Amino acid sequence: MTRIETDICIIGAGSGGLSVAAGAAQMGAKVVLLEGHKMGGDCLNYGCVPSKALLAAGHKAHETSVSAFGIAGHAPEADFAAAKDHVQGVIETIAPVDSQDRFEGFGVHVIREFGHFISEREVQAGDHVITARRFVIATGSRPFVPPIPGLETVPHFTNETIFDLRARPAHLIIIGGGPIGMEMAQAHRRLGSEVTVLEGMTALGRDDPQAAAIVLEKLRAEGIGIVENAQVSQVAGTGSGIRVTTEDGRGFDGSHLLVAVGRKLNVDKLGLEAGNVAHTRRGVEVDAGLRSTSNRRVYAVGDAAGGLQFTHVAGYHAGVIIRPMLFGLPAKARTDHIPWATYTDPELAQVGLTEAEARERHGDRLEVARFPYHENDRAIATGRTTGFVKVMVVKGKPVGATIVGAQAGELIQIWALAIANRLKMSAVAGMVAPYPTLGEINKRAAGAYFSPRLFENPWVKRVVRLVQRF
């Protein structure tokens, strides 16, 4: 058994773990990084990167099929296996950024073994025992597979395996109508598969219902079957594929099955009891600074910290814990400025409070500023006029923003910036956006907040008339 002493021991080489490792090592700390599976974690290998690559292939096929701008569309010849080659090529292109070689170049001691606590100050990984001043749990999550009767006997996919499928599914049934399910539904439909989505409650239910409705309408228009309030009760194999039965007795037949109903945290094999690390099924119990409430040597980031499950949250958490671990400075994690996006076409993005959440929290103090895509010149020129932006405003400051439409994931960033820095609506209204860009939609939404104050205020008109006398 090899014993190692270090400043920081990180368990997990996904977004959060890699960010901590790179920052800490380059600033002089001794760092050991443990990873028993693939460097880069879920996002690079099974999540964000491959899903966006497959969506891009589907988007290319869809654009080819649509007649627009005087250009005749035609049925695309989609090579499903070649699309998967594109996905793999994207992963391979990005992989060196997350590779063992790169992090060893930073001075990180990388050990390719799973780690687990054997005491409050020790973690074992293979035949190594690491004693550290600080530990970081950055183990992420994996697909949750619900205990549906019959599912264990039927071949099925999750986001960890669907990208290995080389033959196009004739009819893909997806259990789960959240972001993963909807993104995969549109990608596969545009690449030639029949697709049916079964959602036990409301599809895209965590998002603003007005915005979600626009996305769902577009997906249905493309031929995707979306069945809501469809709790699955049984799965069984058939001679030609699979049958999924819902609680109300309806049966849905398909050739392939994708399960996309949520995530399960990767904390069950970490020996947290041995490390005196308090936890629940939601994750490690941490304080506002992401530090364990029971073992003060331990921090948790990303999914393991029990909050929002997004890659960029893990990266943000890494920046938060670097301050106390390396410099002894206080730091607290926030959630009000965290954006997220679903990369369907149209895209759906959110930061801060939804309108319903803002009304519940702020009541009559809430004002909602809106602006539609169809009044934006760039959207008109490019034929991307579906969608809107709405901003929830309290006392002149945005507390949330919802965008549905082209490049919503890009456009939401200015509202994330405003909320993160507690800027007023005047800061966005005062921005000069290049013309013509979709970015003008945000400026116009900010302008819509001020319009009633300027154009419907009788005192403004009186002042203007007075000034004109001189």
Task: Check the annotation: does 199 bind a ligand.
Answer: yes
- Asked if residues 301 and 136 have their Cβ atoms less than 8 Å apart, the reply is yes
User: Annotated binding residue at 23?
Assistant: no
Q: Is 16 annotated as a binding residue?
A: no
Rounded Cα gap, residues 13 and 416, in angstroms: 27
Rounded Cα distance, 143 and 157, in Å = 10
262 is in an annotated binding site: yes
Contact 369, 393 (CB under 8 A): yes
Sign of the alpha-carbon dihedral angle for 394, 395, 401, 402: positive
Dist. CA 388–CA 375, nearest whole Å: 10
Paired residues of 198 in beta bridges: 175, 227
Are 29 and 7 in contact, with CB atoms under 8 Å apart?
yes
List all residues 6 or more positions away from 227 whose beta carbon is below 8 Å from its beta carbon.
Answer: 196, 197, 198, 199, 246, 250, 252
Are the C-beta atoms of 65 and 345 separated by less than 8 Å?
Answer: no
Question: Using CA atoms, how far apart are residues 100 and 104, in angstroms rounded to an integer?
Answer: 6
Residue 141 annotated as part of some ligand binding site: yes
- On whether 179 is known to bind a ligand per the annotation, the reply is yes
Residue 175 phi, psi dihedral angles, 5° rounding: -95, 110
Q: Which helix (H) or strand (E) holds 17?
A: helix 15-26
CA-wise closest residue to 5 among 149, 184, 130, 181? 130
183 carries a ligand binding annotation: yes
115 is in an annotated binding site: yes
47 is in an annotated binding site: no
Three-class SS string for 264-324? EECCCCCCCCCCCCCEECCEECECCCCEECCCCCEEECHHHHCCCCCHHHHHHHHHHHHHH
180 assigned binding-site residue: yes
Is residue 8 part of an annotated ligand binding site? no
Is 177 annotated for ligand binding?
yes
Instruction: Tell me: is residue 52 an annotated ligand-binding position.
Output: yes
How many CB atoms are closer than 10 A to CB 276? 16
Query: Is 383 labelled as part of a ligand binding site?
Result: no
Show binding-site residues.
52, 115, 139-141, 176-183, 199, 262, 303
Show binding-site residues for NAD(+).
176-183, 199, 262
Show binding-site residues for FAD.
52, 115, 139-141, 303
